[in-house]
Amino acid sequence: MILTALWLLPAIGGFACLAGRGRASRWLALAFSVVVFGYSVWLAGPYETGQGPWGLSEAGSAWIFGISYNLALDGLALSLVWLTAFLTVVCVIASWRSEFSRGYWSSFLFLEAALMGVFLSRDLFVFYVFWEAVLIPMFFIIGIWGSDGRRHAAMKFFLFTFFGSLFLLVGLLALVSWNHATRGVWTWDMGALAAPGGLAGLLVFAGIFVGFGVKIPLFPLHTWLPDAHTEAPAAGSVMLAGVMLKMGVFGFVRVLLPMFPELTWKLLPWIAGLACVNIIYGSLCAMWQSDLKRLIAYSSVAHLGFCVLGIFSGTPAGVAGGCLQLLNHGLTTGALFMMVGFLYERSHRRGLADFGDLVGRAPWLTFFFGWAVMASVGLPGLNGFVGEFMSLAGMAEALPVMACIGAVGIVLSVAYSLPAYQAVFWAASAEGSASAKVSDLDLREKALLWVLCLAMLYIGLAPGALLGLLEPTVATLVPPGCMP
Amino acid sequence: MGLPLSAILLFAAPVAALLAAFFLVRPFKPGWTHWPILASCAVVTAASVDLAAKVYAGSVFDVPVCAWMAAGNWMVSFGVRLDGIGVAVLTMVCVVGSLIHVYAAGYMRSDPCFSRFFLSFHLFFLMMIGMLVSNNYVQFYLFWEGVGLSSYLLIGFWTHKPAARSAALQAFITNRVGDLGFLIAILMLLGFYGDTRFGLLFDAMGSQPAPLLPLIGLMLFVAAATKSAQFPLYFWLPDAMEGPTPVSALMHAATMVTAGIFLLARSWPLIAAVPQLPTLIAAVGGGTAIFAGLLACCQTDLKRILAYSTVSHLGLMALALGLGRVGVAVLHLLMHGFFKAVLFLCAGNIAHGIGKSTAHVAEVGGLRRSMPMTMACFVAAALSLAGIWPTAGFFSKDAVIEAGLEAGPVWAAMALTAAALGAFYIVRMLLLAFYGPGSGQKPGHAHEAPPQMGAPVLFLALGALSAGWLAPGIGRLLACGRMPSEEALALPHFSWTVFALGTAAAALGAVAAYVLTVGRPDFEWTWRREYPRAASLIETDLGWRKVVAAAAFVVRRLSDLVGDLLDHRCWDGLIESLPRATLPLGGAVSLTSGRLSDHLWWIVSGAALMLLAALI
Amino acid sequence: MIGPIPAAEFAVSFPAASLWPQLTLAAGLLACLAAGMARDISAAAVRVVGVCALIVAVWMLMFTASVPGAGGGPGLGPVRLDSLGRAWQVLFYVGALPLAAMLDEDDEVPMALVLGSCLGMGLLAAAGDLLMLFIGLECMSLPAYLLVARLRSQGAPPYEAAVKYFFAGAVASSLFLLGLAFHYAASGSFGFAAAPGPVGQAGLALMGAAALFKIAAVPFHWWLPDVYESSSPALAGFMSTSIKAAAVFFLMRLAAMAPDSGLSRCLPWAGAATALYGALLALRQQGLQRLLAYSSLSHAGILVVAVGAWAAQGCDGASAAPIFFYGLVYLFMSNGAFLFLEVSGAGKRPDLDGYAKLCPVPAALFAALLLSLAGIPPTGGFLAKLFVFWEAVKAGLFFPVAGAALAALLGLGYYLALIRNMYFDEPKWSKAEPHTGAAMVTLWACAVAAATLGVVPWLFSRFLERLLS
Amino acid sequence: MNATVLQVGVLLFTLGLGMVVLRGQLLAMLLGIELMVGAVNVILTYHANLFGDPKALAAVVLIICVAAAEAVLGLCLILKLHHGGIPAETESLAELRD
């Protein structure tokens, strides 16, 4: 029951917020998110004492067609649960000032409930139900509280992601029915399913790969991301970039890699190539953008390219690096989006040309934004570097050429983020610019950003704690000496 | 054996100073930010001298501190390595750095963002120290990029100046290109050997060389060439002069730019193992020396002359290193640190005197009466740069020429022409600044620099003069570390032929400069109009800046092509048009026309269809 | 839930024991007409009679175990009560409840017609042979034609839809009769046994055509949009749930006669075509009732695919569960959606703009229903679609499933568009009329049932097994 | 012999169907429907005698009764149209469309 509480609590909170009035539901949301965060941190205790690959597991009741409500928690899932809970608290505090209706607060709690469900589920059917359930709250968050282009962005986001998950559903159905045909037992449990070989295996792999690829987003399936990120409210973008992009990669680690070990090894050049394209394509697109949020959205495409590069490298360093980069990207891009949200909150504009010499007006904002940009560019000593370096080191052991192409990403990332940083914060403000309206951060915002920036520095210099947590996941994926 | 206390202090002091300055002093008394930082400089200098003494006494330290990244059997750790080369350069950096810190306290006093400057300045100091004492490539890379970051912050310190902003951006991106090479080298090393600690790596490489060793060596050279401004990627250094003068003096003359040479010196066993690489380094070094020397002769801005001179001297160090004489290169690195810092600080005083951040040759002239002390230091440093006998520069430059002579006539010719060009542009600068009539500017206007700025310059000038006598001691210090082999670190003995050749070259340069500035005073201002093509060629660094601008344009066009055309219009447009396409499709498919009889026809056809399906 | 009352103790042992639900409905009908005799009868009284009749019928169904010898036993004549019939009867009567609860006409005729139609469906379910099937079908359809004429939505042209519906229905039933005649000519009996020879096949095909007409499969679908658009939303809800479920049951009876006949082979294709056609047309509609009409067309297509898959697997009892579950979930979804139109009084899509800001609760309920109609996972709609596709994939019907899946994706286009209008736009008008108690209660019931069927299916699985056992 | 009866029945049926589909007036269409039902009754009565099975005859009576109900309902609708002033033509009933 302790794992079910992890997603049930926010769900109850969501309904509670719906009941309260505007102001009351804001306090309810804060209370629930803090309680959930506390609970997830407390979970580390029982998690340590658990044995076997799964720190904590909870077997629920079985239902028809072999579907059974099983939940489990391993290192990667626990770290992503922490990230989700932490970012939800950050989002609630960040959007504290603006007058949002109770629906806003309940949507975030429902979103958190669905995300917890995705990270916890051991059963593919339960995983798929939570996977889709994430779309609904985010659809309303983007649609109702987004900026002017929100209607189109929300529809595009929902349709595009739903289209992707249709592929995932067909893949899962085929996988389960093939397992029934060959082994005569109905089961949807991730551990118990084996992958078909030959062409059927390839088709199932492709279906599931596309389903997860849309969420990451991998290169051809990424066009929903810039619109969704640009139009979402600040806290919405933080959750979208901070956690929802991780569901795809989490799906790879939890579903694809354990079930198709030899196929992932055979397709490694193609997938690594796709990841490198993701990095370079995302960076080039980011260079062209004139809107700050779209730029950060495309930078997420590039950063997650590193995650995929790491995870598919099949070496302990690469997989650990990829998983760690998931968390790093959550913190870094979450901070960036939050600060752009603060800018938008003050001036209702987010174009690069709309601001200028904020160094004088908002020195603290400049300091924190610079810190977050340096982390996202992968400056060693901050968290971005650790994830990218380990991913590239992992891929260097598998395919050195791909590692070199991927490494070009670090130059391109500077080429698109620093000019933008300078245009907004250092350059002289044009006459029609909104920088006059930008006031410096208040205590609440500074506290939030200090927590995030110190977390970046801590992970950058001492990632040992987190890497230790990810150790069992990496060990299951890459048993020592397994890489041929 | 454990880590000596002073090694711990090397890191603890600057970090403590930075935290104290940022959290305690800056909010209450921004004006006093420099006091904790100067204290930390003193502590660090004392620690470095103490470490030098320990290493000189023969104890080399290579101590792992703690694990950084670990996954499965793969691990990267933090560690400290103190050996001959490291400590020597560390001491020079600490001494020169501390003095420049004092100078900067005076120079930047009136600047509104005084505290931000000093925090970034000391951050650089911490990063430089960290790099010099790190014991594996990944940690080296961490501080290498930290130095790049602080140079970005300091070049772009005056954010209101557009030129400073673009120079900072250009510097950071170019350095990032070099870092790409460095990262690829590290990835290959890690991929093959699994560990990048210098000690273990070079022993392991001795037994079974990695297949991609030439690539690794080349990538290391690319990294060093970018950071130490060698030919292909040097253009960021002259533009970096937009930063305040203490920044130019410390980073872009004495310490930061030498990081590349230090990297090559540190990884000499790897470089030497690659067959053609040292000769390539020597060739590029020599070429850069001559190319930059030539350009320095024609510059009109005081600091840009010194910038090109730094590029030229870095070329000399690379030449010496390429010819196998690592000791000579490091010696020249140390000496160059002193006299180049003095020259920059004097240029700073001159500019400060006439109330501008940097001085154009036309604006200065005849300052010998109004700024006697600065002139004295300038003359001392100029002699040292030209390599005249008693000065420090003489010993290291002669060593380079002697290394050139040993290697072959071509290398010797390169070294000598570089020496001559060096003498030419430094004497020209001396005459124009202190003796020339100065175009229409009253000599009495410029005033001598205040004592807080004067004193450091004086000490450095003394160092530039007397450091030469320490050469034998430095030679023994360098030999203490086990890393590069003995003969690579040996310093040449004094030989009259080299003395004669060097002094002749310097004299030739000085006379030519005298003739062109004092003999024909108007030549300076007229030759550009007489030879416009040559002038424009010089302006664009013999056309190399056009090539770089073209490359930047290509990348921007590529991002436009991919970002706008490919992604936004074609791919996104296609996906957006799909849902819109389904709307008319519905209209085409609709069967209902509204009239009852048409509908009944559908029933008949449907029934007929069913019959057909049943009967066939 | 209390256990079933042992049949022996409750059901009087005369053969008609199994027809109690139908008898209750007949009694309700007569009570309604009798009440009409009295001059000043209130609409509430009529409503109470109607709702009670339906509820008692459902209660009887749930708690009288299927009488032994139900398979067309001696003396029972044309009556046959198998578990399939009893299960689907629950759907018919529960589908009629919202309409019965919402009727507030001043006279008793509409309620009598509704009960008459339900009685027809009851007979259809209990039919032992084709003749009884025909009678049930007609007894269901004739009141429906009149209801369409009587309960009209505002601004609908009078009688046009009723005339169209009548003539189409009449032609279809005459087609059925011709099929019956051929069947009799070939086999000599009206039983459900398949008739040999081409004449028998032709007979079955014609009867199948009549069934497909009643479900509104593609070639025979044209009447549905006009009828649903011009009838009142509650009536449209009744027709889209109960009458469609009866038609599906009718088709299942026919398909069970000859599982591998031409009819069953073309069912999946007709179903997929209907689903796609309904989805494509619904994208273009501006009128909300016409949009929901085409969306019910799309769902009917999926039901036909389900029946096709059931027939392809030899019509065994177990694999009938997905069809029933889909019917059950669709019942709540469709009734709820039409009820919302009744409650909100919205006609065109722009009327929904910013509705969430005016009346958040109905808007939220409608949004939940729309998500369930679209088949988004946490709701029941997804589970229903998943089981149907599952059966079809097992039966090897890959292309029809692909067509139906594409229709589901297109469905998102218009379902989400409605949610978008409600939530993301600014309200154009400020009036928000009060909501009657009965309508809101039923709307709540439908929305909660549709949403939770997906999340707590095991709660219902016991109910399903008991019914289908 | 029963083939010819089937053919006659089908002929009559198609005649009725033609009347319903081709004619514009609703009354004529109503007659068409009655004709179609009549054709079915012909076939059924013949085969009832052929198999000597009285149930079919009972079915015929039932079918006639149902057809009568349909006719009543159709006439009622047509009368309502007439009272409403709408001509009982299929052309006039064409307002509802996509």
Is the distance from CB of C379 to CB of C367 less than 8 angstroms? no
Answer whether residue C70 shows pLDDT above 60: no
* C420 interface with B at CB cutoff 8 Å: no
Chain D: closest CA distance from residue B577 (Å): 24
Q: At A228, is the pLDDT very low, low, confident or very high (cuts 50, 70, 90)?
A: very high
Which residues of chain B from 103 to 142 reach within 8 Å of chain C, CB to CB?
A: none
Task: Tell me how close the Cα of D20 comes to any Cα of chain B, in angstroms.
Answer: 8
Q: Three-class SS string for chain C?
A: CCCCCCHHHHCCCCHHHHHHHHHHHHHHHHHHHHHHHCCCCCHHHHHHHHHHHHHHHHHHHHHCCCCCCCCCCCCCCCECCCHHHHHHHHHHHHHHHHHHHHCCCCCCHHHHHHHHHHHHHHHHHCECCHHHHHHHHHHHHHHHHHHHHHCECCCCCCCHHHHHHHHHHHHHHHHHHHHHHHHHHHHCCCCCCCCCHHHHHHHHHHHHHHHHHHHCCHHHCCHHHHHHHHECHHHHHHHHHHHHHHHHHHHHHHHHHCCCCHHHHHHHHHHHHHHHHHHHHHHHCCEHHHHHHHHHHHHHHHHHHHHHHHHHCCCCCHHHHHHHHHHHHHHHHHHHHHHHHHHHCCCEHHHHCCHHHHCHHHHHHHHHHHHHHHCCCCCHHHHHHHHHHHHHHHCCCHHHHHHHHHHHHHHHHHHHHHHHHHHHCCCCCCCCCCCCHHHHHHHHHHHHHHHHHHHCHHHHHHHHHHHHC
pLDDT at B439: 52
In order of A220, B394, C107, C409, the CA distances from B572 in angstroms are: 10, 66, 59, 19
pLDDT digits 0-9 by tens, B566-616: 888 888 888 888 888 888 887 777 776 777 777 788 888 888 888 888 777
- Supply the range of the domain harboring residue A370: 267-484
pLDDT grade for A30, boundaries at 50, 70 and 90:
very high
Q: Does A341 reside within a domain?
A: yes
Q: For strand B61-71 and strand B74-82, is the pairing parallel, antiparallel, or unpaired?
A: antiparallel
What ipTM is given for this predicted complex?
A: 0.86
Say whether the C–D interface has 3 or more Cβ pairs within 8 Å: yes
Tell me what pLDDT residue C465 has: 62
- Percent above pLDDT 70 for chain B: 96
Overall average pLDDT of the B224-230 stretch: 91
Partner-chain contact D21 B594, CB within 8 Å: no
Q: Which of D66, B462, D64, B324 is nearest to C169 (CA)?
A: D66
DSSP state of A428: P
Render pLDDT for B397-420 as a digit per residue (tens, 0 to 9).
888 888 888 888 899 999 999 999
The β-bridge partners of A73 are A56
Q: Is residue A168 part of a domain?
A: no
What are φ and ψ of residue A189, in 5° steps? -75, 135
Instruction: Give the pair of three-digit tokens for residue A315.
Output: 């070496």
Taking only the tens place, the pLDDT of each residue in C289-331 is 999 999 999 999 999 999 999 888 877 766 788 888 899 899 9
Is the Cβ pair D24, B597 closer than 8 Å? yes
Q: Does D22 touch chain B (CB under 8 A)?
A: yes
Give pLDDT tens digits for B308-363: 999 999 999 999 999 888 888 888 888 898 889 999 988 888 888 777 777 777 77
pLDDT of the residue at C18 = 67
Chain D contact for C164, CB < 8 A?
Answer: yes
C174, C201, C297: best mutation site toward chain D, by most D Cβ within 10 Å?
C174
pLDDT digits (tens, 9 = 90+) for B423-433: 999 988 888 88
Task: Provide mean pLDDT across the span A397-405.
Answer: 91
Model confidence band, residue B178 (pLDDT cutoffs 50, 70, 90): very high
Instruction: Say yes or no for a CB contact (<8 Å) between C167 and D16.
Output: no
By Cβ distance, the residue of B69, B183, B563 closest to A386 is B69
**Per-residue pLDDT, C74:** 41
Given an 8 Å threshold on Cβ–Cβ distance, is B582 in contact with C413? yes
**Residue C145: its chain D contacts at CB < 8 A?**
73, 77
**Chain C within 8 Å of D85 (Cβ-Cβ)?**
no
Looking at per-residue pLDDT, the higher value among B510 and C396 belongs to: B510
Residue B343, classified by CB atoms within 10 Å of its CB into exposed (0-12), middle (13-18) or buried (19+), is buried
Helix pair angle (B326-353, B302-322), 10° resolution: 180
The whole-angstrom distance between C15's CA and the closest CA on chain A is 37
Write down how long chain C is: 469
Q: Is the pLDDT of residue C85 over 70?
A: yes
Q: What is the pLDDT of residues A368-378, one digit of tens each?
A: 999 999 999 99
For chain D, domain boundaries: 2-83
Q: Do A158 and C382 touch (CB under 8 A)?
A: no
Interface test with C, best of D12, D96, D98 (most C CBs within 10 A): D96
Instruction: Please check whether residue A129 touches C, CB under 8 A.
Output: yes
| Residue C441, pLDDT score | 86
Cross-strand partners of B78: B66
Helix, strand, coil shares, percent, chain D, to 5: 80, 0, 20
Strands B61-71 vs A68-73: parallel, antiparallel or unpaired? unpaired
Spatial CA neighbour of C16 closest among C92, C93, C126, C181: C126
Beta strands, E only, A140-228 = none
Distance of alpha carbon C76 from alpha carbon B462, whole angstroms: 125
Residues C148, C153: Cα–Cα separation, whole Å: 10
Q: Give the pLDDT confidence score for residue C68 in this predicted structure.
A: 47
**Every domain of chain C and the residues it spans:** 261-469
pLDDT at residue number C8: 40
pLDDT band of residue B550 (cuts 50, 70, 90) is: very high
Residue A229 located in a structural domain: no
Average pLDDT over residues A303-310: 93
| Average of per-residue pLDDT values in chain D | 88
pLDDT of amino acid A118: 94
* Whether B177 contacts chain A with CB within 8 A: yes
- CATH level 2 (architecture), domain D2-83: Orthogonal Bundle (1.10)
Least confident of A386-395, C454-463, D48-57: C454-463
What pLDDT score was predicted for residue C461? Answer: 62
> Taking 80 as the threshold, does the pLDDT of residue A423 lie above it?
yes
In the predicted structure, residue A49 carries a pLDDT above the cut 80: no
Quick count: other Cβ atoms within 10 Å of Cβ C260? 13
Is residue B208 a contact partner of residue B116, using CB atoms and an 8 Å limit? no
Residue A60: its pLDDT value, please? 74
Residues of chain C with Cβ-Cβ distance to D37 below 8 Å are 174, 177
Residue A393, chain B, CB below 8 Å: the answer is yes
pLDDT at C457: 59
Which residues in chain A are contacts of C457 at CB distance < 8 A?
Answer: 63-64
Report the SS3 class of residue B479.
coil
- C73 or C27: whose pLDDT is higher? C27
User: Could you give the CA distance from residue C335 to residue C328 in angstroms, rounded to a whole number?
Assistant: 11
Tell me the chain B residues in contact with residue C171 when contact means C-beta distances shorter than 8 Å: 600, 603
Q: Say yes or no to pLDDT of C69 above 60.
A: no
pLDDT of residue C464: 61
The residues that bridge with A71 in the sheet, in sequence order, are A58, A121
Residues of A (321-340) whose Cβ lies below 8 Å from B: 321
For residue A117, being part of any structural domain is answered with no
Report how many domains make up chain A. 1
Residue B582 has its nearest CB partner, among C164, C209, C410, at C410
- Residue A335 β-bridge partners: none
- Tracing tokens 């601004």 back to the chain, one arrives at C155
Task: Give contacts of A 280-299 with B, CB under 8 A.
Answer: 281, 284-289
Contact B346, B377 (CB under 8 A): yes
* Chain B contact set for D21 (CB, 8 A): 597, 600-601, 604
Distance from CA of C453 to the nearest CA of B (A): 30
Q: What is the pLDDT of residues B191-205, one digit of tens each?
A: 888 888 888 888 887
Put simply, whether B191 touches A (Cβ < 8 Å) is yes
- Position C5 scores a pLDDT of 39
User: Does any CB of chain B come closer than 8 Å to the CB of residue C196?
Assistant: no
Q: How confident is the model at residue B62 (pLDDT cuts 50, 70, 90)?
A: confident
- Looking at per-residue pLDDT, the higher value among A279 and C5 belongs to A279
Chain C touched by A96 (CB under 8 Å): no
CB contact under 8 A, C159 and D80: yes
Phi, psi values for residue A292, rounded to 5°: -60, -45
**Residues from chain A contacting residue C424 (CB–CB below 8 Å):** 143-144, 150-151, 154
Question: How confident is the model over B15-29, as pLDDT tens digits?
Answer: 999 999 988 888 888
Least confident of A135-144, B66-75, B129-138, D26-35: B66-75
**Which chains share 3+ C-beta pairs under 8 angstroms with A?**
B, C
Chain D residues with CB inside 8 Å of B595's CB?
90-91, 94
What's the gap in Å between the CA of B555 and the closest CA on chain D? 53
User: Do B and D touch (≥3 CB pairs < 8 Å)?
Assistant: yes
Using CB atoms and an 8 Å cut-off, which of residues 139-178 of chain A contact chain C? 139-140, 143-144, 150-151, 154-155, 158-159, 162-163, 166, 169-170, 173-174, 177
Nearest-CA distance from D96 to chain C in Å? Answer: 6
Do A and D touch, counting CB pairs below 8 Å (3 needed)?
no
What percentage of chain A exceeds 90 in pLDDT? 54
CA angle B435, B436, B439 (to 5 degrees): 145
- Find the residue in C nearest to A169 (Cα): C386
Rounded CA separation B232/B238 (Å): 14
The answer to whether the CB of A413 falls within 8 A of the CB of A334 is no
A-interface mutation test, from B19, B174, B567, most A Cβ less than 10 A away: B567
Residue B562 has pLDDT above 50, yes or no: yes
Name C42's Cβ contacts closer than 8 Å, sequence gap at least 6: none
Q: Which residues of chain C lie closer than 8 angstroms to B578, CB-CB?
A: none
Selected residues 129-158 of chain A with any CB under 8 Å from a CB in chain B: 156
Residue C250: per-residue pLDDT:
92
Contact B68 A319 (CB under 8 A): no
In this prediction, residue C462 has a pLDDT band, given cuts at 50, 70 and 90, of low
**pLDDT at site B429:** 87
